[in-house]
């Protein structure tokens, strides 16, 4: 692990391997550890996994509660640490990647988004608001119980839900990063990313999960239809947490997509 000061945060990240650079962005209530089993399939690349603002060991800074800020965090990491790179974003990380890819002069040269939505509906916005309210009220028992229930709905294979949920609560830290990111996702209820997607000029691959009830196929289709150079792929036998349900299939698919776009 190492750290780098970027803008108003100190970012914790891990670098491994050699070859073309790839940056992996985790989802809400996760940290860089969530990529361990998947990254094992990317041995021909220099893989950078990082903790997003306020998650894991990255400091929260002054959160603005916007995807623009989180996209700027990614741009700063690319500019300072990797240079031009492929970016893989899961869920929240995918939304951040999409937002950053719309910016002129982006250093993203290939974007892969998994289990990602470019807009959230009213029910999702209310869900985020409820979790934010629990953290702001310091209702950690309620938040942990809710996160456990959420986690159980995001997997379809037999896993230790209690251990997985405990790791996710640990990634949330003091809650400020979660609140900031949840507000950013709520923002694409009123202002979806959809109108901006046509501005993306880099190649994009979209990965869906067969049994994902949080980001169903329709969410992927919206992204694919809006971006000129974009392809859809699906991981069978997985719910929203692809890295838990099918880490090997997910990792092999990422390696193939990175190769096919010329990252190696």
- Reported as a pLDDT band with limits 50, 70 and 90, residue 264 is very low
pLDDT in tens, 100-146: 999 999 999 999 999 999 999 999 999 999 999 999 999 999 999 99
Pairing state of beta strands 85-90 and 108-114?
parallel
The pTM score is: 0.97
Q: Which two tokens stand for residue 79?
A: 């500019």
Q: How far apart are CA 157 and CA 161, in angstroms?
A: 10
pLDDT in tens, 22-46: 999 999 999 999 999 999 999 999 9
Q: Which two tokens stand for residue 150?
A: 């959420």
Report the share of the chain in percent with pLDDT over 90: 98
Q: How far apart are CA 262 and CA 138, in angstroms?
A: 47
């Amino acid at each position: 692990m190492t750290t780098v000061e970027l803008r108003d945060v100190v970012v914790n990240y891990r670098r491994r391997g050699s070859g073309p650079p790839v940056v992996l962005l985790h989802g809400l209530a996760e940290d860089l550890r969530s990529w361990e089993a998947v990254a094992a399939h990317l041995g021909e690349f220099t893989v950078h996994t990082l903790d997003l603002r306020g998650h894991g060991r990255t400091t929260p800074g002054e959160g603005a509660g916007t995807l623009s800020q989180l996209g700027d965090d990614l741009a700063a990491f690319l500019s300072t640490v990797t240079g031009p790179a492929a970016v893989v974003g899961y869920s929240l990380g995918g939304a951040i990647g999409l937002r950053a890819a719309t910016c002129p002069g982006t250093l993203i040269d290939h974007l892969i988004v998994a289990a990602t939505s470019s807009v959230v509906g009213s029910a999702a916005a209310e869900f985020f608001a409820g979790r934010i309210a629990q953290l702001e009220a310091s209702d950690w028992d309620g938040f942990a119980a809710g996160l456990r229930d959420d986690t159980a709905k995001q997997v379809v294979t037999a896993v230790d839900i209690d251990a997985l949920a405990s790791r996710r609560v640990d990634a949330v830290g003091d809650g400020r990063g979660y609140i900031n990111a949840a507000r950013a996702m709520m923002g694409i209820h009123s202002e979806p990313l959809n109108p901006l997607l046509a501005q993306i000029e880099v190649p994009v691959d979209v990965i869906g999960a067969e049994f994902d009830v949080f980001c169903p196929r329709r969410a992927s289709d919206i992204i694919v239809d809006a971006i000129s150079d974009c392809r859809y792929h699906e991981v069978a036998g997985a719910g929203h947490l692809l890295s838990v349900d099918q880490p090997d299939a997910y990792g092999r698919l990422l390696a193939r997509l990175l190769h096919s776009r010329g990252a190696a």
